[in-house]
Amino acid sequence: MNFKPWSLVYICGPISLPATPEGRRANIANAVKAALYLHEHEIATIVPHLTAIPEAGYPPAPPGSEAYERILQVDLSIIARCQGLLRLPGKSAGGDREVKYAQAHNVYTFDSAEEVVSHYRAERRIHEAMLNRRYGVPKN
């Protein structure tokens, strides 16, 4: 297997709003759908929504609580290591804070999964062309 690391994108957006079990499930499903789409295009993802699944064992973290701020600190630490951030549509105070953090720390921010794919596809072409020009490395 010829391993090539993929770009890493953090997916943020609504998790707990609307504040119903159905709303939470829909938000998780939207994030997973975006992640799977990006995986098809060789882009790795971090999906924090998965921590909101009750079976994951994370304690409740209502906005403004100490637990919420601690989780947000974890999320910002992860974003600092990513190449990009995808902001899913919908109301999310935490998502808004994550976008501001990403922008302040030169992490690309995107509003759609298609935009992410387009960006990294172009970035790959440029990188391959540079390698080929510099080292005569053929495309795989």
Q: Taking Cα atoms as reference points, which of 19, 2, 21, 16 lies closest to residue 48?
A: 16
Query: How does pLDDT run across 15-64, given as a tens digit for each residue?
Result: 988 878 899 899 999 999 999 999 999 999 999 999 888 778 888 788 88
pTM over 0.75, yes/no: yes
Residue 123 included in any domain: no
d(CA 126, CA 47): 28
Q: What are the tokens at 123? A: 């970035």
Residue 128 included in any domain: no
- Inter-helix orientation angle 21-40/113-135, to 10°: 20
Query: How does pLDDT run across 80-94, given as a tens digit for each residue?
Result: 999 999 999 999 999
Q: Taking Cα atoms as reference points, which of 13, 11, 9 lies closest to residue 89?
A: 13
CATH number, domain of 24, equals 3.40.50.450
Residue 131 included in any domain: no
Q: What are the tokens at 27? A: 């938000």
Give the domain range for residue 74: 7-113
